[in-house]
Structure 1
């Protein structure tokens, strides 16, 4: 059931709420102009809502930043964040969430595989009281059978071993209430898996089903290596099951060895097999130690190189609150 809002929250949402759309970009120069055109068409049609679009350039090398600055110069509702290098999709989304000023924040990729038209339905569900509105994929047009099949298996494996409920077939195309955004952005983790963190937070969630289309232009940036890295991050972030594999395998191994030795009435030469088993188990523990090492270092998940707001560049060291300023000033300036 949707969360119950307080009278103050209902009044704030009813008085022309601000909807932010966060768009991470990496080498999307070929499509970014059409992406913005479609987003603006949808956002202009939202009833009694203000809007802003926050583009996060995740270290693009193909002229994406130049196109984004042209958009920002022509539209004061566009805000830009430029990272110093390619930190990856999840850090880029997190950067956008921290910059967004909206009462509701929508995250969507720039390649138009996720339909911007669904944002209107998300906002309608949000205004009805749902703090999380996710888009669930029912099909993945234009993607290989390998990618589709592995994604299907991964989400179900994750759901089976996760320590908390997770949403099936759901990526980062979703709407988050300001309270949810605040919760996520205050988490101290640097190796954040946002899809799992949204479910972990436990806010009431509803979903909209859609068929994912092919890319409008360019090539996918999610290589096999990046998909494997995202899957590893998700599994380690959402489940403690891998950490328990060594104990389970060790006990099973000892039991099998004892039974086999008893049946054959002599010890088995298991030195080579034991070495291989130990190497695999140490590798699993190594993943957790590496994760702990990264968290203990305390490095931020990304570094901002430049920001644009209200059509002009601003110092990168300013915080999101300093950029946003009073709500009235921002909405007045965005009327251009």
Structure 2
């Protein structure tokens, strides 16, 4: 007897009111053309303040394949995605954004590669013309900078949209980080990977929730999560500064012995003090980023709290996420 495989779609939602039904119709049309599989669509309401939850409940009442996780507050996209992955029980899991910039038409191709033996199928954007010029350039800079510093290489122009086999999902669930940079965690677990390319379209619903400041903090999170190179750089800079200072001090001593006391030099002394002080502050700031991460991780708080889970035959709440959840 052949057992039908199950595919889980994981979709974080945050203030997507007015676009939930559009997303549901698009997904339903795509899945209707894929035969031989059972599908579940896990929608995570990440503390939305608009009508997102109500619209998700309406969609769930019309289509039993939809499961809704209501988080107790806004925990952020990484936590919401983690919640969806934890609750997914499919043989393969596909995270996808609700804005439909990542084409759901690609799901069929992903499944085909998976059936051929791939454990991870990445969706790579080959055309990001729908994004602003600044966003494209800063994204390219981030990938280049991160992959230079870190031993864990993140595929360039690959977002969260991908297919992961059950074995990959189990590996992800073993990672205990509370502050999660999912792109890095996806890359860290590895496994046999295939890449498919697509052109990124403009958003069909809503507006981006990532401001420039949030993107900067997100990049900082990624770099400090997977590399200690910034600390090493400051060590080398400090060593070079010490060496230069020692050489300059020796030069001053010799010049004073030969030519006597030279009163002028206030400007150069002020510049040296300000430069050294600024360098120390930068070093302390970098050190503080890592100490802050240690502090947050040491609390061992759950990544998210589920207020309620809405699914056929199982409406439960108060769920916490722990690293050994299976």
TM-score of the superposed pair, with normalisation by structure 2: 0.89
Flag structure 2 segments of 5+ consecutive residues without an equivalent.
256-264, 322-326
Q: 1:200 aligns with which of 185, 188, 193?
A: 188
1:143-196 CA-to-partner distances (Å, cap 9, x unmatched) read 211111100110111111112232111110111111111111221110111111
Q: How much has 1:252 moved relative to structure 2?
A: 2.0
2:114 equivalent to 1:126 = yes
8 Å contact 2:14–2:47 — kept in the other structure? yes
Q: How much has 1:205 moved relative to structure 2?
A: 1.1
Equivalent residue, structure 2, for 1:241:
229
Larger radius of gyration: 2
8 Å contact 1:17–1:49 — kept in the other structure? yes
2:164 equivalent to 1:176 = yes
2:84 equivalent to 1:96 = yes
Equivalent residues, number: 308
8 Å contact 2:306–2:320 — kept in the other structure? no
Q: Distance in 2 between matches of 1:301 and 1:31?
A: 27
2:45 equivalent to 1:57 = yes
8 Å contact 1:159–1:168 — kept in the other structure? no
Q: 1:276 aligns with which of 262, 278, 281?
A: 278
2:56 equivalent to 1:68 = yes
1:125-157 CA-to-partner distances (Å, cap 9, x unmatched) read 111111111111112233211111100110111
SS of structure 2 residue aligned to 1:117: helix
Q: How much has 1:260 moved relative to structure 2?
A: 4.5
103-112 vs 83-92, which moves further: 83-92
8 Å contact 2:128–2:200 — kept in the other structure? yes
Q: Quick one: structure 1 residues 262 and 145, their matched pair in 2 at CA, closer, same or farther if it must change by over 3 Å? A: farther
SS of structure 1 residue aligned to 2:196: strand
Q: 2:306 aligns with which of 304, 307, 321?
A: 304
Q: 2:297 aligns with which of 295, 320, 331?
A: 295
Q: How much has 1:15 moved relative to structure 2?
A: 3.2
8 Å contact 2:302–2:320 — kept in the other structure? no
Q: How much has 1:98 moved relative to structure 2?
A: 0.4
Q: What's the C-alpha RMSD, in Å, of the aligned pairs?
A: 2.1
Q: Distance in 2 between matches of 1:259 and 1:204?
A: 53
Equivalent residue, structure 2, for 1:326:
none
Equivalent residue, structure 1, for 2:241:
253
Q: Distance in 2 between matches of 1:260 and 1:171?
A: 50
248-257 vs 119-128, which moves further: 248-257
8 Å contact 2:101–2:203 — kept in the other structure? yes
Q: Distance in 2 between matches of 1:290 and 1:262?
A: 39
Equivalent residue, structure 1, for 2:148:
160
Runs of 4+ in 1 over 6 A off after TM superposition: none
8 Å contact 1:133–1:176 — kept in the other structure? yes
Q: Distance in 2 between matches of 1:180 and 1:104?
A: 9
Flag structure 1 segments of 5+ consecutive residues without an equivalent.
1-10, 321-336
